[in-house]
Amino acid sequence: MKKITYSLNYRKPKNSYNNDDELMVCLRSYQKLNNGKFRVVKKSTGIKCKLKDWDSDWHKSVARNPIKSTDENFLEKNRILKDKSIELHTKLTSLFLGNVKSDPKNKTTSPDSTKTKQNGRGFLLDSRVPPGPIDQKWVTHKNNIRLVSPSNKREIDIIVVGTGLAGGSAAATLAELGYNVKAFCFQDSPRRAHSIAAQGGINAAKNYQGDGDSVYRLFYDTVKGGDYRSREANVYRLAEVSANIIDQCVAQGVPFARDYGGLLDNRSFGGVLVSRTFYAKGQTGQQLLLGAYSAMNRQIGRGKIKMYNRHEMMDLVIVDGKARGIITRNLINGKIERHAAHAVVIASGGYGNLFYLSTNAMGSNVSASWKIHKKGAFFANPCFTQIHPTCIPVSGDHQSKLTLMSESLRNDGRIWVPKSKEDAEAIRKGHLRPIDIEEKDRDYYLERRYPAFGNLVPRDVASRAAKERCDEGYGVNKTGEAVFLDFTSAIIRYGKEKAHVKGLNENDKELVSKLGKQVIKAKYGNLFQMYEKIVDQNPYETPMMIYPAVHYTMGGVWVDYNLMTTIPGCFAIGEANFSDHGANRLGASALMQGLADGYFVLPYTIGDYLADDIRTGKISTESPEFEKAENSVKEQIDNLIMNSGTKTVDYFHKKLGKIIWNKCGMSRNEKELKEAIKQVQLLRKEFYQEVFVPGNAESFNEPLAKALRVADFLELGELFAKDALEREESCGGHFREESQTPEGEALRDDKNFSFVSAWEFKGNPAKAKLHKEKLNYENVELKTRSYK
Amino acid sequence: MLYSTIFKKASMAISGLFLIIFLLQHFAINITSVFSGNLFNQLSHFMGTNPLVQFVLQPILIFGVIFHFVMGFVLDIINKRARGRRYKIYKGNSNASWVSRNMIISGSTVLAFLVLHFYDFWIPEMDYKYVKFLPENPDRYFEELVHKFEDITRVVLYVISFFFLALHLSHGFASSFQTMGFNNKYTVLVKSFGKLYAFGIPFGFAFIAIYHYLNH
Amino acid sequence: MQLKLKIWRQKNGKSKGKFETYYLNDVSPDMSFLEMMDVLNENLMLKGIDPIAFDHDCREGICGSCSMFINGEAHGPDRLVTTCQLHMRKFKDGDTIYVEPFRAKPFPVIKDLVVDRSSFDRIQHAGGFISVNTSGNTQDANATPIEKEDADNAFDAATCIGCGACVATCKNASAMLFVSAKVSQYSLLPQGKVEATNRVLNMVKQMDEEGFGNCTNTGACEVECPKGISLENIARMNREYLLANLKG
């Protein structure tokens, strides 16, 4: 189905007309509503056309027009038709998305509306997923969306905020297509974006191993892994373009691991049944990012990308309802700058730093996403956060950042805590060593609770189980928040195998242990070394200590199938948007999504929007909208600098992190979520009264940059808790204590919560208004995950 | 291209290698003085009178020497400038050898030695042949040599200089290969041979000086 | 433990800068060096002193932001780590620690310990890429097998994080290790061989224009490199550069 079609206005049966009769051309727009019905708008165009000049097959190619060249004025007539259709398209878009309230026609009540008491409005968000079978959607969509000609692309500017995998690849591709790109990052070089820290790998449905992998299987695994809270069509598209990513990256010179035959190697990841993960040792993210960075470099060298390093986006500028530019702050000299463009792409990553301690980089922040949210973009599923089970535990109050240990360690390590609290206490105090605890006194709780998957249960399950044990008082480090990850049995197993192969004595304990350690070293040497550097313990001799930490945020800015937010002209890609991972992300899928969005999705879909802008001309930065935005940014900065408080920014950030981690962390309940909302509100108030920002606004001032970011986290924190409160089910990373099985497992509620929560900003987070996008699963069956 | 770092470095390497080869030839002739004054005289006479050596090879050699020194100083100035403000604390020893970091010092010492050496041998030689036009005497070379090493100060100076030459060579030899782009499985061999050469030849020269001092 | 810190303070690129002395008590050996700096900064701010500016981001040794010259060594006394991975247990109670920015003409100081390393970016703009369109219409990833050894060597060169420790530690402030790592990565792969000649010429030209010093093969860069990038890369670049010039 096309959004908008042309037709002739027949007033009597078709066959009663002859070829020379003139008929009026009409525009029809079909809008699929969530109850499955269509809304049709029909509009006359004032253009007449003879029956013989009518090209009824005009929709078969983008190059064809409805009126054939046999008509004298076909050029003029077609141009008018096109303009009218664009006009109608824009009008409908803004009617349907921007002003939901003011449009009386939208009172269509969905059959499910009774269940959404607080917002009687029902499911209103339109994801604009194209119709048709799932494996045809993207192809058909690409064939039908509007394009911008090369000569017009030269006249169009695009702003990209963030230069990680998504932003970097998008900037490079858009520039290569011919658009003028301005790219912004807060780091001193695009190469330092936090995508660089991804370790494991990138999934792609290449089926090089011939183990039965396919696009459908990758799609299915991702939807299931996301606990059925992601948008089917987006995930399928992601799986579809995944294979292209690998081709692209190899062509760019990304040195993926290869086998001795010279072909690409794969590893298996995160409990999936096939080997589809491509990797470059433990530095896949780095290599992929450097690939995207090199593609950017090529375009920077050609002058198609203008790069702004050490610039932070401070606000979005909306002119006539469309995103037309941003306000930035130069982090070196504090200058506030205006940048205009025809479209703005947000690729600023996730908001894990809301928790203060996370595996995110110190500078990772929500500000760009939050600023567009405040200007009208809906924020989807903020409470969906991934907590990774294998991180190095917190060692003290000075801790600034957590370090991830690759998930692959769970393949060989066994997780345990002592069976008795006395032993745990003795270990915490240093009176006992872990190796002093006898086998029978150890509680391998994952193996006990989940005999089928054991230590290899998904991330969310493993994390919750660790927290449960530590909360009960079985934690094993000074802070009581750590469990053991023990490689002893793996060392013995491998050692015996090795001894057997070499024909040596399998009962010689020392020999077996030595051989086993060699095998473990070959597999995880760099991780063990990293652990030793940080903790100063030798993990070959004593078990590692691990604890869960915040790692990734599945939630983000709401986008439609074209990756456009609810602000026309403002797009969100990569971790910044919400679309592909549902309530839980599978390992090695984040890199895939970032690159898919940047290289292969956005560059096509943005054209559909920009086709309207070919005659707009340069956007001026002198408009009152820019003036206003700049002034409000300056005012916010001045307020922070002038504030005569006594507490540092980190004081507030740490406090916020503690509230969110303790009350909205791995398990959540109504009482604590309500408390969290209150506490965040109070903390925010205190922040504006008590915060002290040293220095001035016109210089390199890191505390100021931090204060501006923390101010946004303080608002997001409240929405985060509110969203978690609203979602009275457990799914993926979101565990509500009220919604669990008698055995304490997560209980999903598909009947009532099979939707995306998209929040509209209404002045402050407390007033945020919930919109829902219903999730329909036509190609996978909803099942309960079980790992017992 | 001529102004590029790598080309400048390569020209240092080539001129250095050329001087290393010259050193070998110089040593081969000098060592004969230890066991046969006659042979030494014959060879020296040949080198001193052969027009090819005198008017083609000698200017090339002199050019090579001057080029190597001038370029060395130029590079050193450029390198110092590239740092800008100096570090207050700089632990060079922790990551690189003294020799590799101080080629300019060992090189300058060798240069100072060359001045002395030219004053000792080359200038009198030029004076003898091309200024005063004294008649050629094929047997004078050995005597001159022995005569020079009667003075203990000179011998000590020479031995010290040879020590610095050894240091200079011990980095320079392998380094020139690296600069020319040669770094593979044979590099270990180059490095060991370089060390052997770097200490062997200067030791030999020192031996000649001491030998003549002790024996005459 | 107690520490005496002598830290380089410089208001901005134009001001002169000097060492300031600070004392810090109760430093835990489990702290990372940057966490120690965080604590110091909190203390300074509460006393009304401008905190010390330094670059940092991922704090797990991969982004390459952190750049401190600690007690005369780039990234401090530990090997194969960046400043953010350096832990205080490498120091003793009562130690005096000198902290300076990475110093080189092409790395001008922005403030305190923050330097501007955009010269590295400009070298990459000159040729640090393979000219392939990002359309996805490339040949299948397995169409050209690559010998495992070449792929592994290319990977080893590609692990460079662009932190600038090689320049900081080199007595000549030479950027050869950084540039050669990039040149090597591409020239080892068949995809990158096509434009290898132009790449090495352009990147070296840009490197020289930025004002880096000359390589004198001291090998300090290899020792201080947090990723252990090998000197072989420099030899490879020299070779490629000289051959490229011979080709004309």
- Mean per-residue pLDDT for C234-240? 96
Task: Specify the pTM.
Answer: 0.88
Instruction: Please tell me the predicted confidence (pLDDT) of residue B77.
Output: 95
Instruction: For residue range A122-180, list pLDDT tens digits in order.
Output: 446 889 999 999 999 999 999 999 999 999 999 999 999 999 999 999 999 999 999 99
How far from A688 is each of A684, A691, A694, C1, C163, CA to CA, in Å?
7, 6, 14, 35, 37
Instruction: Test A694 with C128 for CB contact under 8 angstroms.
Output: no
> Strands, DSSP E only, in A230-293?
277-278
- Decide which of A633 and A395 is more confident: A633
Q: Which of residues 14-73 of B touch C (CB under 8 A)?
A: none
Instruction: Please tell me the predicted confidence (pLDDT) of residue C135.
Output: 78
- All CATH 3.10.20.30 domain ranges of chain C, comma separated, are 3-111
Cα(B144)–Cα(B44) distance, integer angstroms: 11
What CATH number corresponds to the domain at position A639?
1.20.58.100
Sign of CA dihedral A183, A184, A187, A193: negative
Instruction: For residue range B105-150, list pLDDT tens digits in order.
Output: 999 999 999 999 999 988 998 898 888 888 888 888 999 899 999 9
Considering the domain architecture, whether residues A547 and A431 belong to the same structural domain is answered as yes
Residue A241 sits at the chain C interface (C-beta within 8 Å): yes
- Mean per-residue pLDDT for A668-692? 97
Cα(A464)–Cα(A649) distance, integer angstroms: 30
Whether A372 maps to a domain, the answer reads no
- Point out the domain boundary residue: A521, A551, A581: A551
- Mean per-residue pLDDT for A24-38? 78
Q: Are A157 and A179 a contacting pair, CB within 8 Å?
A: yes
Instruction: Select from C90, C216, C243 the residue whose CB has the most chain B CBs within 10 Å, as the one to mutate to test that interface.
Output: C216
Instruction: Please tell me the predicted confidence (pLDDT) of residue A106.
Output: 38
Query: The domain containing residue A434 runs over which residues?
Result: 388-551
* C117-247 to CATH, choices 1.10.1060.10, 3.40.220.10, 3.40.50.300, 1.10.510.10: 1.10.1060.10
Instruction: Please tell me the predicted confidence (pLDDT) of residue A453.
Output: 82
How far from C211 is each of A140, A313, B165, CA to CA, in Å?
53, 32, 31
Whether A771 maps to a domain, the answer reads no
In chain A, how many domains are there?
Answer: 3
- High-pLDDT (> 70) share of chain C, %: 100
- Point out the domain boundary residue: A551, A574, A590: A551
Spatial CA neighbour of A184 closest among A301, A59, A341: A341
Considering the domain architecture, whether residues A510 and A409 belong to the same structural domain is answered as yes
Cα(A305)–Cα(A183) distance, integer angstroms: 7
What's the Rg (C-alpha) of chain B? 19
Residues contacting residue C176 through CB under 8 Å, at least 6 positions apart: B5, C166, C207, C212, C215, C221, C234, C237
Instruction: Test C118 with A309 for CB contact under 8 angstroms.
Output: yes
Whether A344 maps to a domain, the answer reads no
Instruction: Test C216 with B81 for CB contact under 8 angstroms.
Output: no
Cβ neighbours of C41 (radius 10 Å)? 21
Instruction: Please tell me the predicted confidence (pLDDT) of residue A115.
Output: 30
Provide the phi-psi class of C48: left if phi over 0, else alpha when psi is between -120 and 50, else beta.
left
Task: Give the chain B residue nearest C73 (alpha carbons).
Answer: B91
- Point out the domain boundary residue: A525, A551, A577: A551
Instruction: Select from C95, C171, C174, C197 the residue whose CB has the most chain B CBs within 10 Å, as the one to mutate to test that interface.
Output: C171
pLDDT at A100 over 70: no
Task: Give the chain C residue nearest A279 (alpha carbons).
Answer: C155
Query: The domain containing residue B166 runs over which residues?
Result: 5-81+101-215
Q: Which chain C residues have a beta carbon less than 8 Å from that of B75?
A: 214, 216
The DSSP call for residue A114 is G
Exposed / middle / buried, residue B66 (Cβ in 10 Å: 0-12, 13-18, 19+): exposed
Residue A586 sits at the chain C interface (C-beta within 8 Å): no
Chains that contact B by 3+ CB pairs under 8 Å? C
Element housing A224 (H / E): helix A215-225
Cα(A351)–Cα(A369) distance, integer angstroms: 9
Residue A703 sits at the chain C interface (C-beta within 8 Å): yes
In the structure, do chain A and chain C come into contact, i.e. share 3 or more CB pairs under 8 Å? yes
Instruction: Please tell me the predicted confidence (pLDDT) of residue A251.
Output: 95
Instruction: For residue range A377-401, list pLDDT tens digits in order.
Output: 999 999 999 999 999 999 888 999 9
- Mean per-residue pLDDT for A230-237? 96
Exposed e or buried b per residue across B6-26, where buried means at least 16 C-beta atoms within 10 angstroms of its C-beta? bbbbbbbbbbbbbbbeebeee
Instruction: Please tell me the predicted confidence (pLDDT) of residue A95.
Output: 53
How many helices (DSSP H) and strands (DSSP E) are in chain A?
20, 22
Whether A694 maps to a domain, the answer reads yes
pLDDT at A119 over 90: no
Instruction: Test C125 with A301 for CB contact under 8 angstroms.
Output: yes
Whether A19 maps to a domain, the answer reads yes
Instruction: For residue range A716-756, list pLDDT tens digits in order.
Output: 999 999 999 999 999 999 999 999 998 888 999 999 999 99
Q: Are A759 and A382 a contacting pair, CB within 8 Å?
A: yes
Q: What is the pLDDT of chain C when averaged over all its residues?
A: 95
Cα(A662)–Cα(A669) distance, integer angstroms: 11
Whether B48 maps to a domain, the answer reads yes
pLDDT at A514 over 60: yes
- Mean per-residue pLDDT for A200-204? 92
pLDDT at A524 over 90: no
Q: Residue C216 is nearest to which of B6, B95, B103, comparing CB atoms? A: B103
Smallest Cα distance from A365 to chain C, Å: 12
What are the two backbone dihedrals, phi and then psi, of residue C197, each rounded to the nearest 5 degrees? Answer: -60, -55
Chains that contact C by 3+ CB pairs under 8 Å? A, B
CB pairs < 8 Å spanning B and C:
143
Instruction: Test C242 with B181 for CB contact under 8 angstroms.
Output: yes
What CATH number corresponds to the domain at position A463?
3.90.700.10
Q: Residue B181 is nearest to which of C6, C211, C239, comparing CB atoms? A: C239
In chain B, how many domains are there?
Answer: 1
- All CATH 1.10.1060.10 domain ranges of chain C, comma separated, are 117-247
Cα(A566)–Cα(A369) distance, integer angstroms: 12
Span C3-111 CATH architecture = Roll (3.10)
Can you tell me the ipTM of this complex?
0.97
Considering the domain architecture, whether residues A514 and A396 belong to the same structural domain is answered as yes
Spatial CA neighbour of A190 closest among A309, A304, A306: A309
